[in-house]
Amino acid sequence: MRNLGQVFESLAYEYTLPQAIRDGYLSPIKAVTIPLDLDLSGVSTQAGDFKASDIDTALDPYLYQIADEMQKYCADRKTVVFLPLIKTSQKFTAILNSKGFHAAEVNGNSDDRAEVLADFAAGQYNVLCNSMLLTEGWDCPSVDCIIVLRPTKVRSLYCQMVGRGTRLCEGKDHLLLLDFLWHTERHELCRPASLICTSEEVAKKMTANLADAAGCPTDIKAAAEEAESDVVAEREEALAKQLSEMKHRKRKLVDPLQFEMSICAEDLSSYVPAFGWEMGPPTDKQLNALEKFGIYPDEIDNAGKAKLLLDRLSKRRESGLSTPKQIRFLEGRGFLHVGTWTFEQANRLITRIAANNWHTPFDILPETYLPEAVNG
């Protein structure tokens, strides 16, 4: 009666549901998302799962609509419905019978439970409602539709409920799993993706895809493969966007080597760290400061070089010399050694270029251009 996780450090072997379906031991599963939004945001938690009485309160207003949806999908199927409380199970059974189903209900207090289960197996009923009674220890291979109206955070419980319909049976080619759009502020709710996905990211994508395809039964294995492919594509798209942004960012900043060569700073280009603190990586504060100055910081690999470069940049600003961004702009247009110019000389030329619709004036040859002295 102890949690095995307290005894063993690792799982020796697990035979998963997808493996069992692939090997032909269990029935394939098709999930269909029903576009009926059930609000669970006000449902509290008890003993690590949603509180049954709160679920019952949230579920009750939707029972007739759920029965209407079942008429679209379950009329010709043998269906088991899991509900939160006995009274709800009994109420829903009555609603289903009023809609033309042949429904029965069983619970722990039912005197005729064995008889009802036998009649259901024999086909006298086409829907069997229960309040968590049939989660384990009961087997009826001909069940080909499962409806979980008792939402749970516990994956093993969810698998047990769905598992009542995964037995193989002659004439049964798949299990239909009806999944409603349970709305919750939390993300622990078990959904069809919980049966097959090991990655939370893929599970979320699969759930979203099934919601987009609401009303259309989809094989969960195929849905998981599609979701995994979508996640990979989204990651690649995000990476491409990130790389594009980095390139754009790099174009706006000056490479440190270009800056060092432009200002003729041999002490910077030949710098070798000597002390331990200098050899360490640059701090976030240093990297942010370099980027604010207009230097592309990713090329700086040690704190000593970052400090030396920041000191030089500060002195240049105090001395009124050209900025890294001015250097990048003008040297990108062919002007030479802009790092030796003053801020005002560079600014005056950029202003002329801007006034000429961002074209270098025809009377200026960048390779030979020398800035005029600026009078203070």
DSSP characters over 296-311: -GGG--SHHHHHHHHH
SS3 94: helix
Contacts of 341 (CB under 8 A, 6+ apart): 321, 322, 326, 371
The answer on pLDDT for 375 being more than 60 is no
Q: What is the pLDDT of residues 4-56, one digit of tens each?
A: 777 887 778 888 888 999 999 999 999 999 988 788 888 888 888 899 999 99
CA 108 to each of CA 114, 132, 263: distance values in angstroms, whole numbers, following the listed order? 11, 9, 86
Contacts of 100 (CB under 8 A, 6+ apart): 71
CA 309 to each of CA 136, 257, 264, 320, 322: distance values in angstroms, whole numbers, following the listed order? 69, 11, 13, 16, 15
User: Checking DSSP bridges between strand 45-46 and strand 103-106, what pairing results, if any?
Assistant: unpaired
The answer on pLDDT for 216 being more than 60 is yes
Q: What angle do CA 221, 164, 216 make, to 5 degrees?
A: 40
Q: What is the pLDDT of residues 308-357, one digit of tens each?
A: 999 999 999 999 999 988 988 998 899 998 999 999 999 999 999 999 99
Cα 219 to Cα 205: distance, rounded to the nearest angstrom: 15
pLDDT computed for residue 374 by the predictor: 65
The answer on pLDDT for 206 being more than 90 is yes
Q: What is the pLDDT of residues 258-317, one digit of tens each?
A: 788 888 887 887 788 888 888 999 999 999 999 889 888 888 889 999 999 999 999 999
- 239 or 29: which carries more pLDDT confidence? 29
Give yes or no for a contact between 292 and 313, defined as CB atoms under 8 angstroms apart. no
Residue 251: band (very low, low, confident or very high) from pLDDT cuts 50, 70, 90: low
Cα 268 to Cα 260: distance, rounded to the nearest angstrom: 6
Q: Which tokens sit at 251? A: 């174009």
pLDDT computed for residue 248 by the predictor: 64
CA 303 to each of CA 106, 250, 285, 293, 306: distance values in angstroms, whole numbers, following the listed order? 72, 21, 11, 16, 5
Q: What is the pLDDT of residues 141-183, one digit of tens each?
A: 999 999 999 999 999 899 999 999 999 999 999 999 999 888 7
pLDDT computed for residue 123 by the predictor: 94
Residue 89: band (very low, low, confident or very high) from pLDDT cuts 50, 70, 90: very high
pLDDT computed for residue 376 by the predictor: 47
pLDDT computed for residue 247 by the predictor: 60
pLDDT computed for residue 331 by the predictor: 87
Cα 113 to Cα 137: distance, rounded to the nearest angstrom: 14
Instruction: Name the residue among 175, 196, 195 with its Cα closest to residue 32.
Output: 175
Contacts of 243 (CB under 8 A, 6+ apart): none
Cα 357 to Cα 349: distance, rounded to the nearest angstrom: 13
In this prediction the pTM is 0.66
Query: Could you tell me the domains of the chain?
Result: 12-235 (3.40.50.300), 252-355 (no CATH)
Give yes or no for a contact between 264 and 337, defined as CB atoms under 8 angstroms apart. yes
Q: For residue 251, which phi and psi values (nearest 5 degrees)? A: -65, -30
Residue 250: band (very low, low, confident or very high) from pLDDT cuts 50, 70, 90: low
CA 241 to each of CA 58, 235, 236, 268, 288: distance values in angstroms, whole numbers, following the listed order? 42, 10, 8, 33, 22
- CB atoms closer than 10 angstroms to residue 180: 21
Q: For residue 275, which phi and psi values (nearest 5 degrees)? A: -90, 160
Weakest mean pLDDT among 2-6, 118-122, 199-203, 315-319? 2-6
Residue 226: band (very low, low, confident or very high) from pLDDT cuts 50, 70, 90: very high
Please state the rounded mean pLDDT for residues 76-103: 96
pLDDT computed for residue 334 by the predictor: 92
pLDDT computed for residue 185 by the predictor: 62
CA 242 to chain centre: 17
